[in-house]
Structure 1
Amino acid sequence: MKWRVESSNMKQLAAVLVCLLAACLADKPQPCTSPPLLTGAFTVSTQNEELWQYAQFIYDALGQKIRMKDLGTYDNQSFTHDVLLLFREGVMYEINDLNRTCKKLPLKADFHPLAIPKDAVLLGQVVIGSSSGPGQGLLVNTWTGDIGGTYMMTVTEFGCIPVTTVQHTNKFGWIMTSFFNNIIGITDPSKLNPPDFCPDAMTEDVTREPADFWSLFFNK
């Protein structure tokens, strides 16, 4: 009888340990995907100081569309862009609302959703700001890995909202992107459609064959 009682206790203890282990695994941050619809802004700066950029963006992962309006400096020259990227159609529009002009160009780049890669390694979890009181800090996770260059990506623990991304490239050295004023959703979906003054015919530009997101704008 005593053996049966001890055996039963051991089974209960094992069950408790399994539950505790499952809880620990569940609490550990896992690679995540950002909301499929986002509106916000970001800044970009590079280690070699060749590029500085401020941009407002509309991001639609469901339709694989991105609208971006930006301004900045590249190689000591200022620039502005207003582009609509339609990845499923393989088309990019360069838009000038002021002059009501538009170029339709082939888009030779794959759509990459805002997400932490599955093979990323967790560097750590920290609070940006203060954990002393409610609303004083932001809980974030930082991940690292290699996708054509070493990267570090920081996202919020709750919602997987992008905060910063740092990636090493051969052209610029380290590129830092800082996101802010992110809003889940798209307030004006019509901005993800080409304006009525954009041409239907494709404007061929065989010299532009972007290999990544940044070369869409700076590989001239």
Structure 2
Amino acid sequence: MRVLILLVCLSVGCLAQIPRHCRYPPLMSGSLSVSTANQKLLAFSKYIYDGLGERIRFRQFGLYDNKTYQLDVLLLYRKGVMYQINSRNQTCTKKRLSTDFHPLAVPRNATLLGQVVLGSSSGPGQGILVNSWYGELQMKNRSAKYFTTVTEFGCIPVTTLYHTNTGEWVVNSFFNNVIGIVDPQKLNPPFFCLNAKLEENDGEEPATFLSLFKS
């Protein structure tokens, strides 16, 4: 009986801890779905995140304004360049990436919305404890509101709602997240990108992971 009481006390103590801002795992890969409330955008994406080497690979396939599109972007922050890759045609666009690398994380100025259990808390393994946060993200020429949910243990992303400059909310749902990188080679430019010439940017740079999403 004493052991049971001790376990219950420990469990309550863990749940009673105040959620803290956290960083995503430094090496992570996975998939996510992207959609908007007006059904203008519906897409599925795969990403590779290297917070140690400051590299991100993002590939998206979707439907936007009733037209299909593909997006394949490699961000190399230490080299200050961004590659937009077309593997089918083996072409590559190289642009300057002047923004600093910011590790993926719950921002320090985010406000806790609440802590809940996804699934069920009736038995072990039936649910997962998550924290929801909200705030405002300062970008290059504007600010954007967001709501983000991450797991309490591990700081694994679950969902993010992102308010675009057009007044639309974009919903990002993460799944099949893996801690680590299965194929690190994909974080290097393909061979047909090696001779790509650096072009000047004609618009806003993808300063953050969220701003890579079509809006």
State the TM-score bracket (shorter-chain normalisation).
0.7 to 0.9
Runs of 4+ with deviation above 4 angstroms = 211-219
| Length-normalised TM-score, structure 2 | 0.82
1:131 aligns with 2:121: yes
* Matching residue of 1:8: none
Partners of 2:213 and 2:155 in 1: how far apart? 27
Partners of 2:48 and 2:175 in 1: how far apart? 13
**Contact 1:47–1:172 under 8 Å retained in 2:** no
Is the alpha carbon distance of 1:80 and 1:211 closer, same or farther for their aligned partners in structure 2, counting shifts above 3 Å?
closer
- Structure 2 counterpart of 1:192, from 187, 197, 213: 187
Partners of 2:167 and 2:64 in 1: how far apart? 11
User: 1:155 is aligned with what amino acid?
Assistant: V
Residues 4-23 of structure 1: matches in 2 within 5 Å?
none
1:112 aligns with 2:112: no
Partners of 2:185 and 2:120 in 1: how far apart? 39
* Corresponding residue SS for 2:192: coil
**Contact 2:92–2:196 under 8 Å retained in 1:** no
Residues 81-92 of structure 1: matches in 2 within 5 Å?
81-92=71-82
User: 1:177 is aligned with what amino acid?
Assistant: N
1:122 aligns with 2:87: no
| Count of equivalent residues | 197
Residues 38-57 of structure 1: matches in 2 within 5 Å?
38-57=28-47
Deviations 1:117-146 (A, max 9, x none): 112111111110111122111110011111
Partners of 1:177 and 1:94 in 2: how far apart? 21
- Structure 2 counterpart of 1:98, from 57, 79, 88: 88
Partners of 1:167 and 1:206 in 2: how far apart? 24
1:142 aligns with 2:137: no
Residue ranges of structure 1 left out of the alignment (5+ in a row): 1-22
User: 2:191 is aligned with what amino acid?
Assistant: D
**Structure showing greater Rg:** 1
Partners of 1:208 and 1:168 in 2: how far apart? 19
| Length-normalised TM-score, structure 1 | 0.80
Residue ranges of structure 2 left out of the alignment (5+ in a row): 1-12, 138-142
Shift of 1:189: 1.0
